[in-house]
């Protein structure tokens, strides 16, 4: 049961998320979650949402990485104005769709940062999964996406003081999020 007259939030997820966060959001707003259909099924999040009792609508977006990007852009374009705010997970390619559409459609977009994207990506090279050139290219793309999203986002909520520092370098409207 969705509460009438409550804040209408679209939680836009590009990968995996914590059921506790989803359930908590569903208690304080009229929540819709949009995410990749494959990740929703494979991560067992679908099963956990169904058994949690969380009150929300779920929009599953089909497609692999590139198809999801295209379909999620079209999805966001068509639904953005139905929401008071779009909460977009992390600050990379999925959030770029959300922040661009939010800016065009006049809907505030709040991004989140729960990991340091460049450092997280760098682990791939440290573990020998990618070479130096791929690492440099990946970091460049990540830094570009962070800068673009930082400029377009209404706000970024970063978890903890370290991530607030990382986020505030690209988004002057960074605030402290809490676990």
All structural domains of the chain: 8-177 (3.40.50.2000)
pLDDT at 61 over 60: yes
pLDDT at 5: 65
Band of residue 4 on the pLDDT scale cut at 50, 70, 90: low
Q: Is 30 helix (H, G, I), strand (E, B) or coil?
A: strand
pTM for the model stands at 0.91
Residue 110 is encoded by which pair of tokens?
């709040």
Give yes or no for residue 179 having a pLDDT over 80: no
pLDDT for residue 90: 92
Whole-number Cα distances in Å, 151 to 17, 25, 28, 83, 86? 24, 25, 28, 21, 16
Q: Which spans in 60-131 are helix H?
A: 65-79, 93-105, 117-126
pLDDT tops 70 at residue 145: yes
* Among the ranges given (69-78, 97-106, 122-131, 165-174), the one the predictor scored with the smallest mean pLDDT: 122-131
More confident residue, 93 or 98: 98
User: From CA 97, how far away is CA 78, in angstroms rounded?
Assistant: 12
Neighbours of 4 (CB within 10 A): 6
Mean pLDDT, the chain, whole residue set: 92
Beta partners for residue 86, in sequence order: 10, 109
Q: What does the pLDDT average to over 96-119?
A: 95
Q: How confident is the model at residue 94 (pLDDT cuts 50, 70, 90)?
A: confident
């Amino acid at each position: 049961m969705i509460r009438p007259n409550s804040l209408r939030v679209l939680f836009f997820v590009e990968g995996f998320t914590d059921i506790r966060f989803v359930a908590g959001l569903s208690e304080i707003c009229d929540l819709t979650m949009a995410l990749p259909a494959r990740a929703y099924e494979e991560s067992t999040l679908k099963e956990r949402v169904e058994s949690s009792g969380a009150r929300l609508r779920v929009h599953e977006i089909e497609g692999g990485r590139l198809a999801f990007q295209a379909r999620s852009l079209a999805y966001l374009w068509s639904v953005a104005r139905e929401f008071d705010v779009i909460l977009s997970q992390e600050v990379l390619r999925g959030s770029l769709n959300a922040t661009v559409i939010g800016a065009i459609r006049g809907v505030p977009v709040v991004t989140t940062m729960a990991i340091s994207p460049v450092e997280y990506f760098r682990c791939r090279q440290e573990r020998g999964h990618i070479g130096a050139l791929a690492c440099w290219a990946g970091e460049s793309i990540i830094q570009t996406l962070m800068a673009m999203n930082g400029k377009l986002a209404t706000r970024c909520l970063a978890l903890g003081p370290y991530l607030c520092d990382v986020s505030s370098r690209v988004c002057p409207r960074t605030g402290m999020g809490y676990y």
